[in-house]
C-alpha cells in the first residue's frame, strides 16, 4: 500500500511538470478575419500565420539575446496579455496616397524582465516588435527573426553585391527568382518576396531607428528566411576618392541603446493578388508619426540632372563641365520647360578633400542660385553622407541662407546602427533649416519619410544609372516590372528615368558618356507614372531633349504630389499598369518586359458618369526594332468600356470592331478612345 501511494504521487508530480512545460497560446486576427496569427510562448517564443485558414508561415522563432545573458523570448514568462483595436487616419504628404486609414487588431504580451512583444494583424499583413521598459544601457548581441514557410516556395531575392563584405554595398541588385532550396548562400537585403501559392508574403521592416537594418539568409532546412544584422562599428576609415566613411572593425554586438524604447517592426505584407503589392502601406503606417509640425514647405517636383548624361552638351559655345556656363544652360532648360530644380552633382566641391563648405573656384554658387531664382528654378546640392554629417550644422546654416533648398545625399552603403542614426540626425537637422533630402546611395525605406517628411526620396533600387555600365545579361525591362511589386512596397524610389536614346534589345550598349535606356520611349515615359517618386530626375542632357519637347511636356505635366494611387492591372515580372489621381485628373501608365503582351484593362477606378478626354503616348508599330518609335493619340472613353461590351451593345463582333478601328489588340482600349461601330 505504501509503494502504491508513492507511485501515485510521482505520477501526479510528472503531470504537474508536463503541464508547466506546455506553451501558452495567444491569437490575434485581422479586422476582416482572413489573417490570423498564433503566438506560442514556452521554451521559446514563436509565431505562425494563416490566411483564410491555410498555414502560410510555419512556426518561426523570434528572440533577442542581450550582453548580460538574457534571451528575450526563451522560457518566456508572460505576465499579461492585452488586446487592442488600432485605427489610425494617416495624413501622408508626398506619398502614394494623400491620406489613408490603417486598421489592425493587436496583442501586447508583457514578459517578466521588462520586455514586451506586440503583434498586429492588418487586413494586408502582419507585424511584430519588441519593446523594453528597462532603464540604463541595453546591449543587444543578436536577434532571432525567422520567417519559415515549411514549403519550397518560389522567392524573389535581391542579393548583396559585395561577396567579401556583404553588408557594405549600395542595396541595389536584380532579383534572383528561384525556389528557396535553390537560393544562393549569399545574404539578401530587404524587401524580399515569397510566393505561398494563394498569397505572396513580402518581408520588410519599419520604424528602423537607432538599430541595424535586417538582411536575410535562406534556411533551406526550414524552408524559410532568417534575419541577419550588421554588427556595431568599432573603427572607421575613408576611401580617398570622395572621403566616404566605411567600417574597418566591428564590435561583437549589433546594437546598444539607453532607456525604454521600441525596437523596429518586422513586417510581413500579405497580398492575395499582385496588384495589391505596390500600394501596400504597412511600412509607412507602422513608422513613427511626423516630427515636423508644419510640412507645407516640403515640395517635390522634377529635376534636370547633370551626372547621368555626363554634362553631355553639344551645339553650345562653351566647354561643358562643372562650370557656370554649363549650369546656367541647365537652369535655362529647366526654366523653359517648367522644371522646378537642378542638381549640382559630384564635383561642385572637391570630393577628395571632403569639405563641402568650400566650393570649387569654377563656380560662384551665390550667383548661380540667384540666376535660378530669377527663373523659378531651385538648386539641390549633392554630397556624401558622412561629409554632410561631419559639417551638418554649418552646411545647413550656410546653404539654406544662400537659398539652396535641399541636399542629394549619397554613398551611405551600410545600415548598421550608427549609419541609421546618421540618417535620422541629418533628417532632423535639415528639417530645422527647412531643407529637403533625396537619400540617394541609401538602404531601403523603412518609414523615415513619415517620421521626417522632408526625406522625400530614396534610392535602394537598381536604377537607370546602372545601364551606363550594365554587363551582358542585365535585363532592365524585366526588373522594371518586378521591383514595383517588391521594393516599391517599402517606399518611393530614386530611379532617375528620362532617357531619350531608347534601344531595342538587339541594339543596347553600355556607354558611359552617351548612355541609353533598355526598352522603348513609352517604357521610359511610363516610369514617371508607375514609380512612386516625389522627386523625379530627367536624366538626359538638355541637348537630347531638343526636338523631344512633346515628351518633356508630358513628363513635366505628371504631378509628383499625388492624391490617390491604384494598380488596375499587373503581374510580377510581366507587366504593370498604374493609375494616379490628382485634383480629379488621372494619369495612367503601363509597362511590360521585353515581351509584347495584350492586357485587358478595367477603368473601374474612374468615377461614374464622367467622360475623359485623354492624350496617349503609345509604342509605334516598329518600336520592337526602333525603341524611340511612338505615336500620340487623343481619345475618349468612359468607365466600363471594353471592346466586348461595345460589340454587344451595337450588335457586332469584336473582330469587326478591331477591323473597323484598325486595332491589333482587342484589349487595348484607353480612356478617351473614340470607336467606329460600323463599316461606314
Catalytic residue ranges: 410, 465
Residue 619 bridge partners (DSSP): 630
User: CA dist 21 to 12, 17, 44, 70, Å?
Assistant: 15, 6, 11, 20
What is the sign, positive or negative, of the torsion defined by CA atoms of 266, 270, 274, 279? Answer: negative
Q: How far apart are CA 131 and CA 101, in angstroms?
A: 24
β-pair type (341-344, 301-304)? parallel
* φ, ψ for residue 552, nearest 5 deg: -60, -45
* Rounded Cα gap, residues 441 and 407, in angstroms: 13
d(CA 209, CA 662): 57
Q: Closest Cα to residue 635, out of 668, 679, 678?
A: 668
For 641, 643, 655, 658, the CA distances from 647, given in Å and listed in that order, are: 10, 6, 9, 10
Residues 410 and 387: their CA atoms lie apart, in Å, by: 10
For cell 532607456, what's the residue? 259
Residues 6 or more apart in contact with residue 473 via CB below 8 angstroms: none
Pick from 495, 244, 248, 492: which is nearest to 385 by CA? 244
Q: Closest Cα partner for 237 from 228, 250, 246?
A: 246
**Rounded to whole angstroms, how far apart are CA atoms 542 and 305?**
9
In angstroms and rounded to an integer, the radius of gyration of the C-alpha atoms of the chain is 27
Residues 108, 84 contacting (CB under 8 angstroms): yes
Q: How far apart, in whole angstroms, are the C-alpha atoms of residue 262 and residue 285?
A: 15
Which are the contacts of 635, defined by CB distance < 8 A and separation ≥ 6? 613, 614, 616, 670, 671, 672, 673, 674
In the block, cell 501608365 appears at 589
* Strand partners for 615: 634
Q: Judge whether 598 and 668 are in contact, CB under 8 Å.
A: yes
The set of residues, in sequence order, having a beta carbon less than 8 Å from that of 312 and lying 6+ positions away, is 320, 513, 514, 541, 543, 544
Q: At what angle do helices 521-530 and 549-557 cross, to 10 degrees?
A: 10
Q: In this structure, what DSSP letter does residue 524 have?
A: H
Q: Of 24, 124, 111, which is closest to residue 71 (Cα–Cα)?
A: 111
Amino acid at each position: 500500500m505504501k509503494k502504491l501511494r508513492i507511485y501515485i504521487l510521482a505520477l501526479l508530480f510528472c503531470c504537474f511538470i508536463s503541464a508547466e512545460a506546455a506553451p501558452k497560446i495567444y491569437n490575434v486576427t485581422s479586422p476582416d478575419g482572413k489573417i490570423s496569427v498564433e503566438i506560442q510562448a514556452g521554451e521559446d517564443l514563436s509565431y505562425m500565420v494563416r490566411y483564410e485558414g491555410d498555414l502560410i508561415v510555419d512556426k518561426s522563432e523570434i528572440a533577442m539575446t542581450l550582453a548580460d545573458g538574457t534571451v528575450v523570448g526563451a522560457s518566456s514568462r508572460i505576465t499579461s496579455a492585452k488586446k487592442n483595436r488600432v485605427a489610425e487616419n494617416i495624413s501622408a504628404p508626398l506619398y502614394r496616397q494623400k491620406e489613408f486609414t490603417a486598421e489592425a487588431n493587436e496583442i501586447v504580451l508583457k514578459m517578466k524582465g521588462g520586455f514586451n512583444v506586440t503583434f498586429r494583424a492588418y487586413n494586408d499583413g502582419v507585424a511584430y516588435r519588441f519593446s523594453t521598459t528597462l532603464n540604463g544601457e541595453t546591449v543587444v548581441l543578436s536577434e532571432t527573426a525567422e520567417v519559415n514557410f515549411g514549403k519550397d516556395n518560389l522567392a524573389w531575392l535581391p542579393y548583396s553585391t559585395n561577396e567579401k563584405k556583404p553588408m557594405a554595398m549600395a542595396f541595389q541588385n536584380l532579383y534572383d527568382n528561384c525556389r528557396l532550396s535553390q537560393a544562393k548562400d549569399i545574404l539578401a537585403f530587404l524587401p524580399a518576396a515569397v510566393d505561398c501559392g494563394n498569397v505572396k508574403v513580402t518581408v520588410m521592416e519599419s520604424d528602423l531607428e537607432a538599430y541595424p537594418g535586417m538582411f536575410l539568409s535562406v534556411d533551406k532546412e526550414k524552408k524559410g528566411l532568417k534575419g541577419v544584422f550588421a554588427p556595431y562599428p568599432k573603427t572607421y576609415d575613408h576611401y580617398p576618392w570622395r572621403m566616404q566613411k566605411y567600417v574597418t572593425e566591428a564590435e561583437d554586438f549589433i546594437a546598444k541603446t539607453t532607456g525604454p524604447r521600441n525596437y523596429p517592426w518586422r513586417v510581413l505584407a500579405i497580398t492575395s493578388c499582385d496588384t495589391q503589392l505596390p500600394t501596400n502601406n504597412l511600412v509607412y503606417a507602422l513608422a513613427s508619426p511626423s516630427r515636423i509640425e508644419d510640412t507645407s514647405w516640403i515640395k517635390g517636383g522634377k529635376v534636370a540632372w547633370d551626372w547621368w548624361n555626363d554634362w553631355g552638351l553639344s551645339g553650345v559655345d562653351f566647354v561643358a563641365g562643372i562650370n557656370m556656363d554649363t549650369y546656367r544652360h541647365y537652369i535655362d532648360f529647366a526654366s523653359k520647360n517648367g522644371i522646378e530644380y537642378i542638381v549640382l552633382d559630384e564635383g561642385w566641391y572637391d570630393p577628395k578633400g571632403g569639405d563641402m563648405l568650400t566650393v570649387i573656384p569654377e563656380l560662384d554658387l551665390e550667383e548661380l542660385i540667384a540666376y535660378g531664382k530669377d527663373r523659378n528654378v531651385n538648386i539641390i546640392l549633392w554630397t556624401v553622407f558622412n561629409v554632410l554629417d561631419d559639417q551638418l550644422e554649418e552646411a545647413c546654416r550656410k546653404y539654406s541662407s544662400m537659398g539652396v533648398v535641399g541636399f542629394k545625399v549619397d554613398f551611405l552603403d551600410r545600415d548598421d546602427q550608427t549609419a541609421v542614426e546618421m540618417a535620422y540626425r541629418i533628417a532632423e537637422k535639415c528639417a530645422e533649416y527647412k531643407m529637403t533630402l533625396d537619400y540617394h546611395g541609401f538602404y531601403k525605406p523603412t518609414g523615415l519619410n513619415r517620421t521626417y517628411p522632408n526625406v522625400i526620396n530614396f534610392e535602394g533600387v537598381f536604377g537607370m544609372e546602372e545601364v551606363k555600365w550594365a554587363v551582358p545579361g542585365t535585363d532592365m525591362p524585366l526588373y522594371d516590372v518586378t521591383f514595383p511589386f517588391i521594393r516599391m512596397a517599402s517606399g518611393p524610389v530614386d530611379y532617375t528615368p528620362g532617357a531619350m536614346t531608347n534601344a531595342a534589345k538587339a541594339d543596347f550598349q553600355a556607354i558611359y558618356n552617351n548612355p541609353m535606356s533598355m526598352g522603348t520611349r513609352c517604357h521610359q515615359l511610363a516610369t514617371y507614372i508607375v514609380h512612386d517618386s516625389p522627386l523625379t530626375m530627367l536624366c538626359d542632357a538638355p541637348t537630347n531633349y531638343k526636338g523631344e519637347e512633346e515628351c518633356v511636356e508630358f513628363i513635366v505635366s505628371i504631378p509628383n504630389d499625388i492624391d490617390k494611387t491604384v494598380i488596375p492591372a499587373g503581374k510580377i515580372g510581366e507587366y504593370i499598369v498604374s493609375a494616379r489621381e490628382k485634383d480629379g485628373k488621372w494619369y495612367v501608365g503601363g509597362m511590360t518586359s521585353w515581351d509584347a503582351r495584350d492586357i485587358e484593362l478595367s477603368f473601374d477606378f474612374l468615377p461614374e458618369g464622367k467622360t475623359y478626354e485623354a492624350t496617349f503616348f503609345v509604342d509605334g508599330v516598329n518600336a520592337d526594332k526602333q525603341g524611340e518609335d511612338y505615336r500620340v493619340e487623343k481619345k475618349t472613353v468612359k468607365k466600363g468600356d471594353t471592346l466586348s461590351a461595345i460589340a454587344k451593345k451595337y450588335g457586332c463582333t469584336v473582330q469587326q470592331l478591331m477591323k473597323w478601328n484598325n486595332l491589333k489588340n482587342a484589349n487595348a482600349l484607353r480612356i478617351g478612345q473614340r470607336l467606329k461601330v460600323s463599316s461606314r
